[in-house]
Chain A
């Protein structure tokens, strides 16, 4: 079966896919926050944790709340990858830049998180550095949320432009 799609319809479909991924990303953001609050209220770094890379890393699997927090953080960050891929396809360079920025800021958070555990271990026990690490983690998370929020503005603008523009009659063939 051949389906004739105009260029605008093709664009519209891609934008719709971006919207769906963004909804999923926002859901994962929410889950990250909820799990983060569990960590904040109920998790304390055990005295058995050593100030070594492997011991700090293994802590991720030690507490369910911490594990859920990390998993949702990874999932919400990785949602930017399909957005970048789809935005590149429709030439939304600002969206690509904003999501690249969001990924970068989240990567900073992925360093600050384990640093919090490291500074909280009994052998290091540096409360000030642990506080700075937590504050950095929270701040870059919000920065990433803001950047992804901003990206949606450009997607909405493009969506409206397509809807209110004369359709370009370019037929493509597909199944």
Chain B
């Protein structure tokens, strides 16, 4: 493939100026973030099925809740780093998807707090229920948005690899 052809193909693609090494490192961070998402989901399911089970309550100091919140914090930190990388190194889509995920995670955390402080059970009233609903929906939205940011990084890596191969 000739240089003008490569330039034409690169139109509309966002490879940024982080470099291949940096992109690969960011991708590893994204993978780690997905493991955290998985752990967050599993602890959430555990609380939902085995602790609250529709009738029982959960307090903020419950050990399962603390573990769940720790995963959420780690999730926030990893997504935030990806967002900053996106903004600093010219990957607009990565930054915007990650920013969306950050907003979703913050909303989900606030809704989770509402769930715990307003009763902590699915039968504690409509406010608690709303907290549970918003928390779950926002978690899924964050997961999807982080996933699309990851795909954009993966695409940038693949393009960088192919372009460097052609350049040799």
Q: Which residues of A contact B (CB under 8 A)?
A: 26, 30, 33-34, 37, 40-41, 44, 127, 131, 134-135, 138-139, 142, 146, 149, 152-153, 156-157, 160-161, 163-166
Contact = CB atoms under 8 A, between A and B. Distances in A.
B162 A164 contact: yes
A43 to B, nearest CB: 10
A72 to B, nearest CB: 14
A146 B38 CA distance: 9
B20 to A, nearest CB: 14
Given A34-B137, A37-B133, A41-B132, A152 B151 contact: yes
Interface residues of B, number: 31
B158 A157 contact: yes
B122 to A, nearest CB: 6
B136 A37 contact: yes
Contacts of A131: 49-50, 53
B154 A149 contact: no
B113 interface: no
15 contacts: A34-B137, A37-B137, A40-B48, A41-B122, A41-B129, A41-B133, A131-B53, A135-B46, A139-B42, A152-B151, A153-B151, A153-B154, A156-B158, A160-B155, A166-B1
B64 interface: no
A70 B127 CA distance: 28
B41 interface: yes
Interface string B127-168: 001001100110010001001000100110011001100100
B125 interface: no
A9 to B, nearest CB: 14
Contacts of A26: 144
Contacts of B34: 146
A131 B48 CA distance: 10
A156 B41 CA distance: 26
A164 B38 contact: no
In the A-B complex, the 5 residue pairs with the closest CB atoms: A160-B158, A164-B162, A138-B45, A131-B49, A134-B49
Contact of B41 (A142, A157, A163, A165): A142
Nearest to B155: A156
Given A41-B132, A164-B6, A164-B166, A156 B154 contact: yes
A14 B54 CA distance: 46
Contacts of A44: 54
Contacts of A146: 34, 38
B9 interface: yes
Given A160-B159, A163-B9, A165-B162, 11 more contacts: A41-B122, A41-B129, A127-B53, A131-B50, A135-B46, A138-B49, A139-B45, A156-B151, A160-B155, A160-B162, A161-B158
